[in-house]
Amino acid sequence: MSDIKQNYLNGSWEPSDVVGDSYSPATGQIIGRYYEASESQVEDAINAAAETFEMSPWQHDRELRAAALNELADLIEAHSSELVELLAQENGKVLGEAGFELSLVPSKLRYYAAQALVDLGYGAQTKKGAFSTLLRQPIGVAGVIVPWNSPVVLSVRSFAPALAAGCTAVVKMPAQTALVNARLAEIVSKATKLPAGVLSFFTESGDEGSKLLVRSPKVPVISYTGSTKVGRQIMADAAPHLKRLSLELGGKTPMIVFDDADLDEAVGTIVAGITTFTGQFCMTGSRILAQQGIAQQLRQKLKSALAAVEVGPGDAPNSQMGPMIDRAARDGLVERIKEKSANAEVLLRGGPPEGNEDGSGAYYRPELYAVQDTDSALIQEELFGPIATFEVFENENDAIQRANVTEYGLAASVWTQNGQRGLRMADRIDAGTVWINGWAAVFDQFEEGGFKQSGLGRLNGNRALEEFQEVKHVVQFA
C-alpha cells in the first residue's frame, strides 16, 4: 500500500497533495492508492502540450507519429496480460471481457500509425493559372475524457487518431480505475519515440480537471465518452470557444428478433448483450423486441439463460458476469429500478444476490421485465446495469416505431434469416450502427457513433482523424 500511483504529465511523474483510494468492486477492500491531479497540474500539462505542439516537430513529422504509435502498440501488446488482470480486479469485468478490451488496442494504434502516413489532402488546377491545394492540419491540443467501463481501449480510441493527426493530448482518466490508468501510463512512458508533452495522463475522482480541459482556450478539441447528460453540459461549457467536439454518449440498444430468427444463436448473443461489463456499456442490449410468433418461446429461453449466469469476482475463472463498478453504482441502480419498475411485469427478478444486499461486493444479478408501454422509464432511460425489457411487436413497421421511440440512437441489432428484411430494417432504424444477426462488432476502419442524443461526430475509421483536423484551402496564381 506504500506505492502511491502518480500522474504522468509532460513526460514526468508527479505526486500531489491529495491521495485517493482504489477499491475492489468484488470485496469493497482498498487495493491501491493514487494521487489526485490538482488543477494547477492539469493546467501545466495543457501548457506543455500546447508548447510541444507549436515548438516540436510532432505536428509536421508523419514518420515520427507513425513510429511512435507503432511503438505504443508493441508496448501495450507486450504488457496486455498485466492490464487484463488489473481490469478484472479494479474494474470488475470478467477476465474474458478484460482480455477482449485489450485485444482491441494494438490494432487500433497500428491502424492510426498507418493513417498518419496515408492521410492526404488533394490538389487541382481550378482554372487556367489557378492552382488549389486542400491541406489537412492538426487542430492543436486535444482534451480526452475517458469513462471507467473500458478505460484502456476508450482512451486509445480517442488519443490514437488525435496523435496520428498531429495533435498533442491531455487525457483525463477515471478514479475508479486508478491502478489501471497508472499501469497504462507506465507502459506509455517507456516509448522512446514519443516526445515529452505529446501525451499526458491524469486521474481524478471529481471533474475539475475535466472542466479545465473544456474551458481552456488552449484546448480546441474535446473527445468525450460518457453520458448524454454530461455531454450536453460539455457542449454548453465549450460554446464560448466554439470548440470541436467528439461526443459518444448514451444508448438504449434494441435487439429485434423476428419469427424466422435462429433463436438459439440469438439468445446467447442477447444474454451477452445484457451482461457484458455488467450492463455498464453504452451499447448494452437492454431492449429485447420479439415478434409475436416466437415471443413466448424467446421469453422462456432468455429467462433460463439469464438465471444461469454465474456472477462472481472479475478475476475468478468461472465468473460470467462481474460486480458493478462500485457499491454506489449498485445501490443507485437498486433505487432507480424500485422507482421505475412499479408497473412492469417481472419476468426474472435479479438485483443484489441473497445475502449481499448490505454486503461489500457490488453485485447485481440480471433482471428482465415485460413492458409494452414505450413511455415507461425502463424503456426510455439508460439504466447502466444488467437490466433488460421485453417487448412484443407485430410486424416490421411496429418494430421500427418501437426501436426509434427513445431519444437515443447509438446502436441496434436485428435478428432474421431474411437478408432483405435485415437491410430494410437497418435502413430505417435511427442508429449509428446496426448489426444483422450479431452484436457489438466494431472494426478499426469503420466509423462508430450516435444519432440523436447519442452523440456528435464519429470515432474509428477515417472520420476519427478528421475530428482532430482543420481543413485549409490554399490558392496559388501562376
Q: What is the pLDDT of residues 144-170, one digit of tens each?
A: 999 999 999 999 999 999 999 999 999
Q: To 10 degrees, the CA torsion angle through 350, 92, 226, 346?
A: 0
Residue 63 annotated among the catalytic residues of the structure? no
Cell numbers linked to 67: 513510429
Q: Give the distance, in angstroms, between the CA of residue 43 and the centroid of all CA atoms in the same chain.
A: 25
Q: Return the residue matching grid coordinates 450479431.
A: 438
Rg (CA), the chain: 23
Task: List strand residue ranges (DSSP E) for 7-54, in order.
Answer: 7-9, 12-14, 18-23, 30-36
Mean pLDDT of 30-53: 98
pLDDT, average across residues 88-108: 98
129-159 burial, b if ≥16 CB within 10 A, otherwise e? eeeeeeebebbbbbbbbbbbbbbbbbbbbbb
71, 90, 248, 382: which one is catalytic? 248
Beta strands 168-174; 287-291: pairing state: unpaired
Average pLDDT over residues 78-101: 98
pLDDT band at 354 (very low <50, low <70, confident <90, very high): confident
The answer to whether 20 and 215 are in contact (CB under 8 A) is: no
Q: Which CATH architecture has domain 254-443?
A: 3-Layer(aba) Sandwich (3.40)
In angstroms, the CA 458 to CA 446 distance is: 10
pLDDT higher than 50, residue 1:
no
Between 356 and 157, the more confident residue is 157
Question: What would the grid cell of residue 82 be?
Answer: 498485466
Average pLDDT (398-420) is: 98
Task: Quote the pLDDT of residue 343.
Answer: 84
Determine which of 68-82, 236-250, 345-359 has the lowest per-residue pLDDT on average: 345-359
Reply yes or no on whether 282 is catalytic.
yes
pLDDT at 2 over 70: no
First to last CA, the chain: 69
Cα gap 303→367, rounded to integer Å = 9
pLDDT mean over 91-96:
97
Placement of cell 436485428 in the chain: 414
Here the cell at position 165 is 493527426
**Position 412 pLDDT exceeds 60:** yes
Contact 69, 189 (CB under 8 A): no
Contact 234/245 with Cβ under 8 angstroms? Answer: yes
CA 377 to centroid of chain Cα atoms: 23
Q: Could you report the per-residue pLDDT of 368-395, keeping only the tens digit for each?
A: 999 999 999 999 999 999 999 999 999 9
Per-residue pLDDT of 253-294, as tens digits, reads: 999 999 999 999 999 999 999 999 999 999 999 999 999 999
- Model pLDDT, residue 360: 75
pLDDT at 359 over 80: no
Region(s) of the chain under CATH 3.40.605.10:
4-249+454-477
pLDDT surpassing 60 at residue 357: no
Residue 358 pLDDT > 60, yes or no?
Answer: no
User: Are the C-beta atoms of residues 453 and 250 closer than 8 Å to each other?
Assistant: yes
Cross-sheet strand order for the sheet of 122-127: 122-127, 130-138, 469-477
Q: Are strands 345-348 and 367-370 parallel, antiparallel or unpaired?
A: antiparallel
Domain 4-249+454-477 is found in CATH 3.40.605.10:
yes
Residue intervals in the chain for CATH 3.40.309.10: 254-443
- Contacting residues for 288 by C-beta, under 8 A, at least 6 apart: 254, 255, 257, 270, 298, 302, 368, 388, 389, 390, 391
**pLDDT score for 385:** 97
Which of the following is catalytic: 282, 382, 391, 448? Answer: 282
Looking at this protein, which amino acid is placed at residue 249?
L
Residue 296 burial (10 A CB sphere; 0-12, 13-18, 19+): exposed
Residues in the chain: 478
